[in-house]
């Protein structure tokens, strides 16, 4: 049986849609570079997030290059406070599914106490420090791109606008980075 292909984000996705061996179960959100869906990895029996680049963007060389760059940037980052990438299928990124509200959703509920805010800020800073040590700048850090899991772990999301600090290969020694 041939799996259905995910339609562009301009059409509502049905719960039975799939891409490769990922069965889409619901839509999580939509941003400037595509829609994000909850899916089940039918080979590994785990929940994942699938970020789909719309067909119109996939046909645009600049946008497709940005999408490819996001995959490569994420693949170069391995940190407990940065959402992981598991792979690329067609015009979709297969990502770690991070449960919990975004920081924007949490802020909308009301003031955040200092005791709650400090651990969040520390974990965001640790994620960014790690990315910077790898020569990567996020460039779109905002509360909507930070999730807080039910156990208090912070995950920085969406490196779609990330940029390497230099076009040269990243030096292995962080001491040689520009300040």
Catalytic positions, written as ranges: 140
| CB contact at 8 A, 18 and 24 | yes
Give the residue ranges of DSSP H helices in the chain: 55-58, 61-75, 103-108, 114-133
Which run of H or E residues covers position 38?
A: strand 34-41
Residue 61: both structure tokens together: 């060389």
Give the angle subtended at the CA of 12 by the CAs of 87 and 19, to the nearest 5°.
25
**How far apart are the C-alpha atoms of 62 and 73, rounded to whole Å?**
16
């Amino acid at each position: 049986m041939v799996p259905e292909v995910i339609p562009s984000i301009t059409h509502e996705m049905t719960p039975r849609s799939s891409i490769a061996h990922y069965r889409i179960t619901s839509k999580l959100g939509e941003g400037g570079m595509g829609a994000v869906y909850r899916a089940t990895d039918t080979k590994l029996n785990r929940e994942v997030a699938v970020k789909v680049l719309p067909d119109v963007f996939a046909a645009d060389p600049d946008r497709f290059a940005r999408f490819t760059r996001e995959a490569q940037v994420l693949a170069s980052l391995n940190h407990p406070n940065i959402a992981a990438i598991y792979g690329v299928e067609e015009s979709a990124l297969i990502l770690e599914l991070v449960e919990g509200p975004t920081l924007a959703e949490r802020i909308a509920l009301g003031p955040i106490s200092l005791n709650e805010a400090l651990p969040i800020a520390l974990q965001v800073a640790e994620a960014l420090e790690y990315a910077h040590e790898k020569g990567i700048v996020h460039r779109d850090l905002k509360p909507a791109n930070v999730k807080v899991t039910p156990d208090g772990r912070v995950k920085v999301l969406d490196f779609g606008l990330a940029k390497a600090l230099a076009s040269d290969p990243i030096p292995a020694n962080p001491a040689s980075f520009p300040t």
